[in-house]
Structure 1
Amino acid sequence: MSIMSDEVYSHGHHTSVTSAHATRRASDSAGYLLEHLSSGMDLLDVGCGPGSITADFAALLDPGRVIGMDRSEDVVALAERTYAGVENLHFRTGNVYDLDLEDESVDVVHAHQVLQHLTDPVAALREMHRVTRPGGIIAVRDADFHAMAWYPPTPELDEWMETYQRLARSNRAEPDAGRHLLAWAHEAGLAEVEASSSNWLYATAERRRWHADTWAERVLSSAFADQTLERGLADRAALERMAAGWRRWGESPDGWFLIPCGELIIRV
C-alpha cells in the first residue's frame, strides 16, 4: 500500500498477499467507478499493489495516462514486469500523504483497500483531492471486517477476526473502514459524495478453497504472522489453529464467506 514509511501494513507483501491481490480486476473491485470513466482520462491508482486493477484502467482509458503508485519498491517492480509494454501505464513508488504530482493533474484518483491501513485516512483524502482536477473524481473502496459473515460457524475464524482486529488497531489502522468512509470524506471537507456498497462472496467450491488457502498461508507466513507473534497477540499454536480452521471451513460444502465493502464516488 502507498503509506508513510513509519506506518505498518498489517498484511505485508508476502507472496500469499500479492498473489491474491493480483487476481483482482476492475470488474470485481471497481465496478462502482467504471460507469464514470471514459477514454482519454488521466488516472492515479494509489496503493496499486501488483497492478491488475490498474492495468484494466489503462485499457479502458487509453490514450489517457494511468499511474500506479505503491509504497513497496518490490511490488512496483513486480507490476512493471507484469505489465511491461503497456504504453499509457506507468508505475512508481510513492506516499499517499505527499503525492509526487502537481495540483489538479489527474481526472481520477482511485484507492482500493487503502484507507483501512492508514493512521490518517482524512489527510490522505485531502491529498487525493489536491491532485484531482475540477470536475474529476476520487474513488475509494474498503472492506468492513466486523461486517464480514461466514457459515458454518467456525470458532477458529472468530479467533482470527479478533486477532486481526487487535493487530490492525495496534498499527493505528481501522479494519472496519467501510463504514467510516462517508464520515472521513466529510471530515476532509469533501461534500459531493455518492456512497454505495458491494460484496465479494466465496460460496463455490473453487472460490471457497482459494480464499481459505490464501488466508491460511497469510496466517502462518505473512506480516500478519510476524507482527502477531512479535506483539504477543497470539502464539504459534494459535496461528496453526487458525490456519487449520480456515482450511476446514474451505472444505465445507455449505461454506459461505461474505466480505462487504463500502465505496465512495467523490466529485471534485
Structure 2
Amino acid sequence: MSKVYTTDHSASVIQTHGWRTLANSAAYVIPYIRPDLQILDVGCGPGSITVDLAKQAPQGHVIGIEYVPDPLEGARNLAVSEGVSNVSFQIGDIHNIPFPDSTFDLVHAHQVLQHIEDPVRAFQEMRRVVKKGGIVAVRESASLTWYPESEGIAAWKELSEHMGRAKGGTPHPGRMIHVWAYVSGFPREKIKKSTGSWCFSNQQEREYWGGSMEQRARSSGFAKTAIEEGFTSQEVLDKIATGWRAFVEDEDAWFGLLHGEVLCWK
C-alpha cells in the first residue's frame, strides 16, 4: 500500500499524539474492557493509549502496531516508565495485519483510517483478527470549529484537507465510519455509533494544541511535504504558524473537534 500520511513523527506530531489517553480519546471503549483481554491497538504512535489499555487489562496483553518504526522506541520507553509489562510494540500495516484470524478480543484504532487509502479493507482486516463476539473500536474526527476567526487556522484546515485527499486519504471521516464498517461485513445491528469531542481553551490546552500546530507549520514532515510537492508556499505556512501563535496567546480562543465512534461486534 502506498504512503498517504501527510506528516511524520517529528517532535511536534509526537507531542499531540502523546497527549492522547484512554480517558480523553477512547472513553467509549472503557466499559467493554475486561482484565484478561487480548487487545490490538492499530496505529499506536507513541503508545499513550496503548499503555492505558494495558493498565485496564492487567491479566491480558496489548500489542501496538505502527506502519513505521519511528515512534515505537518511545512507546516502549513509555511502557517501562509507567511500569507496564503486559504490552509490546511492533511494525504492522492495517491493510495486512500480521496476525492470524480470531487472535484478539478487542481491536482499537484511533485517528488512523483518515490517513489510509482503503478504509474498508482496514475494517475487514480488523474484523478478521478479532475473535467471534469480540469488538472492533474505531474513532475518527468528524468536524472542527474555533474562535475567533483566523485566516491562518482556516488556511491550515484547507491545506491539510487538500493534502490528505490528494495523497489518497479521507480527512475527518468520523461521520461515515459506520458505513465503512457495514460494507466491510459487520451487520448494522452489531454497530454501535456514538460521538466524542476534544476542546482546547485554557492556556495549557491552547499551548499544547496551538503550539504543536505552529511547530508543524514551521518544521515537520507536513511542512516539508507541503512545499516539496507543491501544495503551498512558504508564505502560506508562515501565515498558518502565525495564526496558531495568535490562538495560543488569545485568552478567549477556543478550538473544538467532534469525533465519530463505532463499536462493532463480530
Paired AA for residue 116 in structure 1: Q
Shift of residue 81, structure 1, vs aligned partner: 2.2
2:247 counterpart of 1:254:
no
Shift of residue 46, structure 1, vs aligned partner: 0.3
Corresponding position of 1:167: 163
For residue 49 of structure 1, the aligned residue among 45, 50, 53 is: 45
How many residues are paired up?
A: 262
Q: Any residues of structure 2 matched to 1:2-21 within 5 Å, and which? A: 4=1, 6-21=2-17
2:73 counterpart of 1:74:
no
For residue 60 of structure 1, the aligned residue among 56, 62, 68 is: 56
For residue 224 of structure 2, the aligned residue among 226, 230, 252 is: 226
Corresponding position of 2:140: 142
Corresponding position of 1:236: 234
Q: Provide the secondary structure at the position in 1 that maps to 2:175.
A: helix
Paired AA for residue 64 in structure 2: G
For residue 26 of structure 2, the aligned residue among 17, 26, 30 is: 30
Shift of residue 176, structure 1, vs aligned partner: 2.0
Paired AA for residue 11 in structure 2: T
Shift of residue 231, structure 1, vs aligned partner: 2.1
Deviations 1:91-110, CA, capped at 9 Å, x for gaps: 11111111111110110000
Q: Provide the secondary structure at the position in 2 that maps to 1:148.
A: strand
Corresponding position of 1:208: 206
For residue 120 of structure 2, the aligned residue among 110, 119, 122 is: 122
TM-score for the superposition, normalised by structure 1: 0.95
Paired AA for residue 126 in structure 1: Q
Paired AA for residue 112 in structure 2: V
Shift of residue 177, structure 1, vs aligned partner: 1.1
For residue 107 of structure 2, the aligned residue among 80, 105, 109 is: 109
**Contact 2:79/2:85 (8 A) holds in 1:** no
Deviations 1:117-168, CA, capped at 9 Å, x for gaps: 0110000000000000001000000112xx2000001111111111111110
d(CA) in 2 for partners of 1:266, 1:114: 16
**Contact 2:4/2:117 (8 A) holds in 1:** no
For residue 261 of structure 2, the aligned residue among 256, 260, 263 is: 263
d(CA) in 2 for partners of 1:41, 1:210: 33
Q: Provide the secondary structure at the position in 2 that maps to 1:83.
A: helix
Paired AA for residue 240 in structure 1: D
Paired AA for residue 229 in structure 1: I
d(CA) in 1 for partners of 2:55, 2:203: 31
Query: Which structure 1 segments of 5+ residues have no match?
Result: none
Shift of residue 202, structure 1, vs aligned partner: 0.5
Paired AA for residue 10 in structure 1: T
Shift of residue 8, structure 1, vs aligned partner: 2.6
Paired AA for residue 168 in structure 1: G
d(CA) in 1 for partners of 2:197, 2:153: 19
**Contact 2:34/2:57 (8 A) holds in 1:** yes
d(CA) in 2 for partners of 1:83, 1:233: 38
Q: Percent identity among equivalent residues? A: 35
For residue 87 of structure 1, the aligned residue among 85, 96, 105 is: 85
Larger displacement relative to structure 2 (224-233 or 100-109): 224-233
2:93 counterpart of 1:98:
no
d(CA) in 2 for partners of 1:156, 1:19: 21
Query: Which structure 2 segments of 5+ residues have no match?
Result: none
Shift of residue 86, structure 1, vs aligned partner: 2.8
Q: Provide the secondary structure at the position in 2 that maps to 1:54.
A: helix
